[in-house]
Amino acid sequence: MKKALLFAVGFILYGVLMWFYLLHGAHTELPIQYRGSAADPTMFMNDRQLKLSYDFSRLKDLIYFLSVPLEWLIYLLVLGFGLSKKMGGAVKGITRFSLVHTGLYVLLLSFVSWLLTFPLRYYSYTVSRDYHISVQLFQGWMKDSLIDFWVGWLFTFLTVVVIYFFIRKAKKKWWLYAWLISIPFTIFMYFIQPVVIDPLYNKFYPLKDQALKEKILTLADRAEIPASNVYEVNMSEKTNSLNAYVNGIGSNLRIVLWDTTLDRLNDKQVLFVMAHEMGHYVMNHLYQNLIGAIILTLFGLFLGSKIYMWALAKWGKRWGIKGPGDIAGLPVLLLIFSLLSFLAGPVENAVSRKAEKDADRYAIEMTKEPEAAVGAFQKLTISGLSEVNPPKLVKFFLYGHPTMLERITFLDSYKDKYKPEELQKAKKQKQQ
C-alpha cells in the first residue's frame, strides 16, 4: 500500500513538473529571423486563433505526457496489489482450455486499463470539442472508443497467444520464434489496414470531384504510380482538422483525402498535398516503414525477453507469478514493451521527420507551386490549432513531421526558384 501511495504521489509530482515546463519553462517564441516571414503565425492567424493555438497545444501536450506514465502506473498497480494473480486464478476456474484462459485474462486486463484511462481520454475528447477541433458527438466518440477496445483486445489476444506458446516451449529463444511469426503478421496488417480496419471507423468512397480526380490521376501518372482511384473519407462528421495520407501496400495501397481538406483547400493546394503523399510511394517510404517495424520488433522482443526474465527473478514471487509462462506475468511484459516503445519513439520520429521533409521536397519539385504549398500548411495550422514552434521536448517525443516553422520556411525558400513565368521574365529584363 505504501509503494502504491508513493507511485501515486510521484505521478502527481511528475504531472505538476510537466505542467510547469509546458506553461512556463518551454521556449516557444519565434526566432527573430523568422518574424514577418510566411512561417510567422501572426501573418496568417488572428489574435484569437493565436491564443487558442497556444492554449490547445499546451493542454494536448500535457495530456500526452500524463497518459504515457499512467499506463505504466496501471500495470504496476495491477501487479503490486496482486490483481494480476487473482485474475489469472479466476479465469482458470472457468474452463480447462488454456486458449480461453488467455482470452479472458486479456479481456479483464484490457478492461481494467480501459476503465482507468477513460477519464483522461474523455478529458482529451472534451478539450478537442471545446476548441472546436472535434465536432463528434459523445455517442460517436464512445462508439469509436469501443471499436478501439475490441480491435485492441483481438490483436493483443493473438499476440499474447503466440508469445506465451513460445515462452512455454522455448524459454531462452522464445523471442526469436515470436519474431519470425510476427513478420508475416506485420506484412498482413499492412495489407488489411486500409480495407478492413479503417472502414470500421469511417466511410470511404471514391473522390466525388471528377475534375480534381483527373488532375490527381494525371499527377500520379507523371510520378509513374499505377493509381486508378483516389479516396475520400467523411471526417467532417468528427473533426475540423485537415489531413491526407497514404497507407497499405501492394494492391491495397490507398491515397486518402479527408473531406475537410477538400472543402478548405483549393485545387493547387490539394495537388501539392497529393504530390506529397505520392512522394512517400515513389521513395518507398511505406516499404521502409515495414522493414523498420520488423527490425524494431526483433530488437524489442530480444531486449524485452532479457528484461522480463530479470524482472521475474527479482519480483516474480512478490507479484505471485509462478514462472515466465504464467499468464499473470502479462502486465510485466506489457510494461516492458511500453517502456521500450517510448524510448524508441524519438528515433522513429527523427526518421519519420526526414521522410516527411523528403516528401515535401518531392511535392514542391513536382508541382512547382510554393505559394500553394505554403498556403496549404498555413491552413493546416489554423484548422488544427497547431503550434508553429513547439517546445523541444514536445517535438522530440511527439513530432513525426517537421514543425510547421520548418515546413513552411523550407517550402517558402522555393518561391524565387518557381516564380510565375511573367515575374521571372520581368526579373530578367530588370537585370539586363
In this predicted model, what pLDDT tens digit does every residue of 281-328 receive, in sequence order?
889 898 899 899 999 999 999 999 999 999 999 999 999 999 999 999
3-state secondary structure of 368: coil
Q: Catalytic site residue 406?
A: no
Strand order in the sheet with 231-233: 204-206, 231-233, 254-258, 244-247
Tens of pLDDT along 199-219?
Answer: 888 888 888 889 999 999 899
- Whether 432 has a pLDDT exceeding 60, the answer reads no
| Least trusted range by pLDDT, from 19-23, 242-246, 276-280 | 242-246
**Confidence band (pLDDT; 50, 70, 90) for 229?**
confident
The CA distances from residue 413 to 30, 94, 366, 400, 419, in Å, are 18, 66, 15, 22, 11
CB of 258 closer than 8 Å to CB of 244: yes
Q: Give residue 161's identity as a one-letter amino acid code.
A: V
H or E segment and range at residue 233: strand 231-233
Write down the catalytic residue from 198, 232, 259, 277.
277
Confirm or deny that 101 is annotated as ligand binding: no
Tens of pLDDT along 301-310?
Answer: 999 999 999 9
Say how far apart CA 6 and CA 90 lie, in whole Å: 29
Would you kindly state where each structural domain of the chain is located, as residue ranges?
2-203+283-421
CA-CA-CA-CA torsion for 359, 56, 75, 142, nearest 10 degrees?
-90
Tens of pLDDT along 94-122?
Answer: 877 888 889 999 999 999 999 999 999 99
Confirm or deny that 280 is annotated as ligand binding: yes
pLDDT at site 430: 46
Tell me the mean pLDDT in the region 28-34: 91
Tell me which residue has cell 475528447.
125
pLDDT at site 49: 95
pLDDT at site 421: 56
- Whether 426 has a pLDDT exceeding 60, the answer reads no
pLDDT at site 197: 81
- Whether 71 has a pLDDT exceeding 50, the answer reads yes
Write down the catalytic residue from 198, 326, 360, 412.
360
- Whether 337 has a pLDDT exceeding 90, the answer reads yes
Tell me the mean pLDDT in the region 386-390: 94
pLDDT at site 425: 52
Return the closest-CA partner of residue 327 out of 156, 148, 176.
156
Instruction: Residue count of the chain, please give it.
Output: 432
Q: Using CB atoms within 10 A of its CB, is residue 173 exposed (0-12), middle (13-18) or buried (19+)?
A: exposed
| Least trusted range by pLDDT, from 33-47, 74-88, 194-208, 246-260 | 246-260
Q: Output the average pLDDT for the chain.
A: 90
Tell me the mean pLDDT in the region 5-17: 85
Return the closest-CA partner of residue 280 out of 416, 408, 400, 409.
400
- Whether 423 has a pLDDT exceeding 70, the answer reads no
Question: Looking at residue 134, what DSSP letter applies?
Answer: B
pLDDT at site 250: 66
pLDDT at site 422: 46
- Whether 179 has a pLDDT exceeding 60, the answer reads yes
More confident residue, 2 or 327: 327
- Whether 377 has a pLDDT exceeding 90, the answer reads yes
The percent of residues in the chain predicted with pLDDT above 90, rounded, is 69
pLDDT at site 203: 87
Say how far apart CA 225 and CA 244 lie, in whole Å: 17
Say how far apart CA 187 and CA 185 lie, in whole Å: 5
Can you read off the three cell numbers belonging to residue 7?
A: 507511485
Q: Cα-flanking dihedrals φ and ψ of residue 402, to 5°?
A: -60, 155
Tell me which residue has cell 478548405.
264
pLDDT at site 4: 65
Q: Catalytic site residue 71?
A: no
Tens of pLDDT along 121-130?
Answer: 999 999 999 9
**Confidence band (pLDDT; 50, 70, 90) for 196?**
confident
CB of 423 closer than 8 Å to CB of 371: no
CB of 409 closer than 8 Å to CB of 38: yes
Say how far apart CA 56 and CA 49 lie, in whole Å: 10
**Confidence band (pLDDT; 50, 70, 90) for 343?**
very high
H or E segment and range at residue 166: helix 138-169
3-state secondary structure of 256: strand
pLDDT at site 417: 80
CB of 151 closer than 8 Å to CB of 200: yes
Question: Looking at residue 30, what DSSP letter applies?
Answer: P
> Which DSSP string corresponds to 269-324?
HHHHHHHHHHHHHHTTHHHHHHHHHHHHHHHHHHHHHHHHHHHHHHHHHHHT--ST
Helix crossing, 83-92 with 47-80: angle to 10°?
70
pLDDT at site 30: 92
Confirm or deny that 132 is annotated as ligand binding: no
Return the closest-CA partner of residue 216 out of 264, 178, 272, 138.
272
